[in-house]
Amino acid sequence: MRIAIAGGGPGGLYFAALMKQLDAAHEVTVFERNAPDDTFGFGVVFSDETLGGIESADTAIYQQMAARFARWTDIDIDFNGHRFTVGGQGFAAMSRKELLHILQERAAELGVTVHYRTPAPDVDTLRASHDLVLAADGVNSRIRTKYADAFGPSLDRRRNKYIWLGTDLVFEAFQFIVKQTDWGTMQIHGYPYSAGGSTFIVEMHEDVWRRAGFDDSSEDTVPRIAEIFAGELKGHRVLTNNSRWINFTTVRNERWHDGNVVLIGDAAHTAHFSIGSGTKLAMEDALALAACLHEQRCVEAALEAYQAERKPVVESTQRAAQASLEWFENIGMYAAQEPAQFCFNLLTRSRRITFENLKERDQEFAARIEADFARSQNQAAVVPAMFQPVRIGPLELKNRVVVSPMDMYSACDGLPNDLHLVHLGSKALGGAGLVMTEMVCVSADGRITPGCTGLWTDEQRDAYRRITEFVHGRTTAKIGLQLGHSGRKGSTRLMWEGMDEPLDEGNWEVVGPSPIPYGVDAHVPREISRSEMDAVVADFVAAARRGVDAGFDLVEIHAAHGYLLSSFLSPLSNRRTDDYGGSLANRLRFPLEVFDAVRAAVPSTMPLTVRISATDWAPDGNTATDAMEIARAFVSHGAAAIDVSSGQVVKDEKPAYGRSYQTPFADLIRHEVAAAAGVKVIAVGAISSHDDVNSILLAGRADLCALGRAHLYNPQWTLQAAAEQEYRGPAAEWPKPFEAGRRKPPSSRTDKIPPRLALLRAGAGNVHVRWVPVG
């Protein structure tokens, strides 16, 4: 096989060596535009899983690397002079220049032809004369750019500035330094890579960078950094190596190969340096690709297998890295946190490390975090965070678990029935502090489907009273009423018959702020008139009053997910030219009218909350910045809590799904808007384990967590969480008939992953275990 490689960095050289090791007859040529002793950066970090793959594939390379590793097991965090050490991590790093030297020597030893100081020839020429062309030409890949139509690249330039430096101060562990300066928050990412030096990455928001007087051509950058961090450097030098200020760019590609051309490393993907190493990922790519070429019968099949196997692993890493980089972009808003909580927040920022992970690694630190949280809530008992009581306005809840609103689509003429009694009653019996109804519609024309419940008649009120009386009589849970109007998303089929699809017959006219359908095949709404808006306000008020009479403890206004109030808030569905369209202040006008009218209609002893979509997940739609203003408006009008969801405003949205993927929006709103006003924030979305809940609460990202699907799977989710954490107390009191189930059965724990499965989930080892070294 004839192979051409554009790029002589670690990924390209490692792949070249692996292919020659597999078969010495392979003709492998590397084109590297830099000199052999050129390099950028200082150190590179590897995980144990990556090192295991390198060892099994080529012991010669591994042994050379291992002889140069700096190893450590701690993370040190310096936050404004408060120092913390958290153990049990496990890292290995080495000099990037030494790694390149090892790979260059190994490639030469195996007979790889490397042309240094030589840009790769035109890729069309290479692909015509070679069986395989490897694009290992970095973030600014010319090959990826030339075949952009085939690869579908996405380049996301982030707003923080950073510069990759070194220091002759040898850190003892992975070192985070977070410092408040006269210009704002600055942070250092550092780690040792040899007995004589450490990587020293300086990062800050671009606004901070500008206020501090830095610029791209500043000649005094290094002296200024040495001055700012003089106390942390302890007299040691700051070193440069082709160092310059840059903005991190996240690279993604829809496809990683086209014909016989394939991308690896930074040409295919990048992951922020705060969680990943580009070198590590590139070498894992090389190992996976070499294995696939060894196993598959032809190049085309091998490239398909490589993408199918490697791309999901990288995307998982990128999701974690995205959460991490966004956390560091917003690091300034955590400056007021207590030092220990800040430390925990930093460690769990990517959502891959959780409270349970840390407890296993450092029990003393975990115990301090729980004790500090209890103290911050004025509670004497140190218990799992989810079981600390909480108030939403005047309403006290026994714990911080909320059963999220979930449409059952099972009513007849808006009447809740036995299914709703069992659904909501079972969740209340299951231990949650607050159980929310599905969206209860304020009028027949405000239903989503014919199966939605409502509160436009007294009969419906009485049917709901039966449910609230059960919850109050049999449990210690509270029950909340979510009120909404479907707007342009109404008159559709039951979910299991075709979600958001119009009814085959019996349709009713739908309204919206503008005559814009939710999707291509959806109803075109009629633009709602002012008089009809008044009628909708009256419907909300009447329904809220019936809710009070029915015995609900809390009312929530549904202003999310593209229903009527949400569609007023979004510029994608609201194109009005009157006082209710245009600016965000105008788009807020009608939802606030509804909110104010309901607030006036319910007793002051009953909290009124609101659910919002924090982003539309679509171009030109609402963003997190808009969500802060929306939340701020509702808070100023008396909202006791902001329930932070996202999306479902337009059909062609592109959510960034992942573990607790909506929590960063709750975090932002809590810190920037709600906390100072004493307003609670509820996080929702892909939260599934008690570990997720405790981690979110302990880090201060939300005050409560709402779970939906987890409660459908297990109505006793909260009681099981109590048993698994060996908690016995009033916050998870078992109903007397259920007492026999309190004892935790053997091996009942569900949020533990067997070690091997954990390895596969992390994306490590799945290729490596199949590797058969040759020679």
Beta strands of 87-234 (E only): which ranges? 91-95, 113-115, 132-135, 153-167, 174-181, 184-192, 198-205
- At 561 the three-state DSSP class reads coil
Residue 563 falls in the annotated catalytic set: yes
Half-sphere exposure for 423 (CA within 13 Å, toward CB)? 21
Identify which of 78, 644, 82, 689 has the alpha carbon closest to the alpha carbon of residue 354: 689
Whether residue 188 contacts residue 162, with contact meaning beta carbons closer than 8 Å, is answered with: no
Identify which of 332, 333, 342 has the alpha carbon closest to the alpha carbon of residue 372: 342
Question: In which region does residue 57 sit, left (phi positive, over 0), alpha (psi from -120 to 50) or beta (all else)?
Answer: alpha
User: In terms of DSSP bridges, do strands 434-441 and 401-403 run parallel, antiparallel, or are they unpaired?
Assistant: parallel
- Which listed residue (147, 193, 464, 563) is catalytic? 563
- At 632 the three-state DSSP class reads helix
- At 465 the three-state DSSP class reads helix
| CA 112 centroid distance within chain | 42
How wide is the angle at C-alpha 417 spanned by C-alphas 414 and 420, nearest 5°?
A: 100
Helix pair 530-550, 584-601: axis angle to 10 deg: 40
* DSSP H stretches of helix in 572-708: 584-601, 624-636, 663-669, 690-698
Which residue has tokens 């999701």? Answer: 319
How wide is the angle at C-alpha 595 spanned by C-alphas 614 and 412, nearest 5°?
A: 90
Cα–Cα distances (Å) from 596 to 57, 538, 579, 593, in that order, read: 67, 12, 18, 5
Backbone phi and psi for residue 127, each to the nearest 5 degrees, phi listed first: -70, -25
d(CA 738, CA 736): 5
Residue type, 112: V
Whether residue 120 contacts residue 207, with contact meaning beta carbons closer than 8 Å, is answered with: no
Beta strands of 168-232 (E only): which ranges? 174-181, 184-192, 198-205
d(CA 666, CA 674): 10
Residue type, 197: G
H-run or E-run covering 644: strand 641-645
d(CA 13, CA 7): 8
d(CA 485, CA 491): 11
Identify which of 274, 452, 420, 253 has the alpha carbon closest to the alpha carbon of residue 348: 274
Q: How many CB atoms lie within 10 A of CB 570?
A: 20
User: Hey, which residues are catalytic here?
Assistant: 563
